[in-house]
Structure 1
Amino acid sequence: MRTKLYVLYGGKSVEHEISLKTAVTVLGSIDESRFEIYPVYITREGLWCTPEQLTQKELTAEHLIAEPKFHDPARSIGEILSGVMAMSGAKVVLPLLHGPNGEDGTVQGLLELLNVPYVGNGVLASALTLDKAMSKHVLAQAGIHQTEYLACRYEEWRTDENMLLLKAEESIGYPCYVKPASLGSSIGISRCTNRVELIAGIHEAFSYDQKLVIEREVIGREIQVAVMGNGKPVASLPGEFIHDHIFFNYESKYMDKRLTMSIPAELPEDLTQGIRTLAIQAYQAHGCEGLARVDFFLDGEGRLYLNEINALPGFTNFSMYPVMWERTDGTSYSELIEHLIGHAISRHEDKQTIQYKK
């Protein structure tokens, strides 16, 4: 019998549209001879529902949007859990939820309680990697080099704005970047070259999150590495986007048709291997399992800075993660999805050996 595959997408997040794009590509690549697919759409309000049955040829972002039967989150989630997800037989969940309320450990916690295998990182690693401030603390403890940074909560800013501004200017300086702590796709990020821009960037970041990070700018190349696996993870060849943007923001990532991928990135062999090793080190320091993309800066002096870890990288046709694996060992898009599902099932089986009574 085919394994039931529940694909969660959408979500109560500003990255809702990115999730839809990812879902279209993933759903269109799954081997239907092996998996019985059940799409589960989560609205911007956090309501769960299922779309009409679609063939892979009919897949579009618009067709994947559904209207919930219940407008209370508890009832809508309950209907899905007691209905389609309660069916007997082998099953696995594939969360394609970017940002808060999906990539941050919340949905992963629910899936742990349901005791079902799911693709990607667990509760702790999901929470750590999405929270840039906490991730930076973990990297510092692991001795992994990163740029100077400052984390701040909204209450600190509201209490003494001037103190934060002075602290940022003294310890970080200009140019700097202001980022919401728990968001991806470069949403809410500002490049600031003076105090006026810094104040505007702080307000922008706090409109998306209650915590932010201010980082010193690193001028150089942005190098990415795909990592996959549980206990013995492996890293892909590094890659980079070739572009001429000073700040690689949301519009640059998703709307610039001139972007080209360079995979493998043109690097000396020893540096390539060093980056792959460091990516695995950072992956393990966060307790990651399943998958993650690790991003670095490489400055003009050859110094390497770990920028961030993305525990649920994009899987659109313009995303680096699947292409890096294809260029590394020939893994196709559909094969990659099956590898990730295999890691999910293996991890779940290992957890079933844990004792919960004496």
Structure 2
Amino acid sequence: MKKKQRIGILFGGRSGEHEVSLLSAASILKAIDKKKYDVVPIGITKEGRWVTASDAHALLTGKQAPENPRLAGDPASTPTAAVLKRGEAIIIPPVPAESLQPLQLSASAVAATQRALDIDVIFPVLHGTFGEDGTIQGLFELADIAYVGSGVLGSSVGMDKAAMKKVFAAAGLPQTPWVSILRSEWRSNPRACTKKIEAELKYPLFVKPANLGSSVGISKVHDRSELAAAMDEAASFDRKLVIEQGVGGAGAKPRELEVAVLGNDSPEASVVGEIVPGAEFYDYEAKYLSDASVPIIPAKLTAAESKQIRQMAIEAFKACDCAGLARVDFLMEPAAKGKKSANKPRIYLNEINTLPGFTSISMYPKLWGATGLPYKQLIDRLIQLAVERHGEKQETIFSRG
């Protein structure tokens, strides 16, 4: 009988998108094929504690973690690289220094180590800081464990909007004008920062933390009177701020378009979808706390527009060296009022999200569903891509000896 692949679903985390992560993980755990996979839930609390299966399930349901939870791989309660029991915890090397044992291990210790590493693929559903910024991916790389999604570089570039925009510019991809300002610069001399912003950009503006997702900390700024509050809000979430010029000008909303990309070296793009926000823009509340926003899949575009956007999505994915999955977001100029314009509306690349929301009703799975790849099969494909990428990496020589 063929051995089941053991899949670790990693969720929670310390970021401002903790709750979104729980929703995504719960959806995956419900849909994943239990006949095909042996599934291990791995939770990370808001305080950064890694918890075992029973406490991980409690975390998913919103229950308070126990005062003394069973921690995954806690050296105080388990021997080196050991687990409480199969299916209840995983420890990912490097092992904490204080728990190191002599190299001459007993047979039982060797067996425990093998059990501890008995995970075939990690499926991280950690949105935001410490989850899709390359940090956890670096841990997986050190552990030599296959994992779903982009590597360290793709994840970190996709997370840092300022770095991402520089990569897009180098690839010749069209973007709206933008500037980046450090939190320290803003706090030490807000007047000079305001002067710089207004010299390079026109209102309305969008002020964003460079390293965050799900529209957390983002504000739309209509004029100078709103700028300081927006900068302070974004600065509470990150040391680097990105300020973008709005598309379409005052009183006009751009069309918000999204494409799901899937693959490794030869990625494919889904159909194009559109979000009609129930708010002034697609902020956190509009995404997760309101049903007023309307998704349109596929978006009403010409064949040429759809082709252009899908190709741009693939180019953005490759430019950032992404892998597995990503959602690429675009802004399209609103149609001219009154009469038909002879000029085609311009399309701007907004950003790439390397670990997008993954509930069954999130845009990424819905876009692939509309393209012909249902949710459960999408999970299978992502796991397969993780295994393929890990296998390809084994061809790389890391030592001359």
Give the TM-score category using the shorter length. over 0.9
Match of 1:146 among 163, 175, 180: 175
2:43–2:52: 8 Å Cα contact kept in structure 1?
Answer: yes
2:206–2:245: 8 Å Cα contact kept in structure 1?
Answer: yes
**Superposed displacement of residue 196, structure 1:** 2.5
Match of 2:326 among 275, 292, 297: 292
Q: Describe the SS at the equivalent of 1:236.
A: strand
Q: Deviations over 1:210-231 (max 9, x none)?
A: 1110000113100000001001
Give matches, 1:10-89, under 5 Å. 10-52=12-54, 61-62=61-62, 69=69, 82-83=82-83, 84-85=89-90, 87=115, 89=118
2:278–2:293: 8 Å Cα contact kept in structure 1?
Answer: no
**Superposed displacement of residue 193, structure 1:** 1.4
> Which residue of the partner structure matches residue 343 of structure 1?
385
**Superposed displacement of residue 54, structure 1:** 9.2
Q: Describe the SS at the equivalent of 1:238.
A: strand
**Which shows bigger deviation, 72-81 or 271-280?**
72-81
Q: Which amino acid aligns with 1:217?
A: G
Q: Using a 3 Å threshold, how does the CA distance of structure 1 residues 307 and 76 change in structure 2: closer, same or farther?
A: farther
Q: Which amino acid aligns with 2:209?
A: P
Q: Is 2:299 the counterpart of 1:265?
A: yes
Which whole-Å CA distance do the structure 2 matches of 1:254 and 1:237 have between them?
23
Q: Is 2:344 the counterpart of 1:310?
A: no
> Which residue of the partner structure matches residue 262 of structure 2?
228
2:40–2:53: 8 Å Cα contact kept in structure 1?
Answer: no
> Which residue of the partner structure matches residue 354 of structure 1?
396
Match of 1:163 among 192, 204, 210: 192
Q: Quote the RMSD (CA, aligned, Å).
A: 2.5
Q: Using a 3 Å threshold, how does the CA distance of structure 1 residues 244 and 49 change in structure 2: closer, same or farther?
A: closer
1:68–1:76: 8 Å Cα contact kept in structure 2?
Answer: no
Give matches, 1:246-257, under 5 Å. 246-257=280-291
**Which shows bigger deviation, 238-247 or 186-195?**
238-247
- Residue identity over aligned pairs, in percent, reads 42
Which whole-Å CA distance do the structure 2 matches of 1:80 and 1:150 have between them?
49
Q: Using a 3 Å threshold, how does the CA distance of structure 1 residues 155 and 346 change in structure 2: closer, same or farther?
A: same
**Superposed displacement of residue 248, structure 1:** 1.6
User: Which consecutive residues of structure 2, in runs of 5 or more, have no partner in the other structure?
Assistant: 84-88, 91-112, 249-253, 335-343
2:8–2:119: 8 Å Cα contact kept in structure 1?
Answer: no
Q: Using a 3 Å threshold, how does the CA distance of structure 1 residues 68 and 23 change in structure 2: closer, same or farther?
A: farther
**Superposed displacement of residue 69, structure 1:** 3.5
2:275–2:295: 8 Å Cα contact kept in structure 1?
Answer: yes
Q: Using a 3 Å threshold, how does the CA distance of structure 1 residues 161 and 54 change in structure 2: closer, same or farther?
A: closer
**Which shows bigger deviation, 184-193 or 237-246?**
237-246
1:51–1:66: 8 Å Cα contact kept in structure 2?
Answer: no
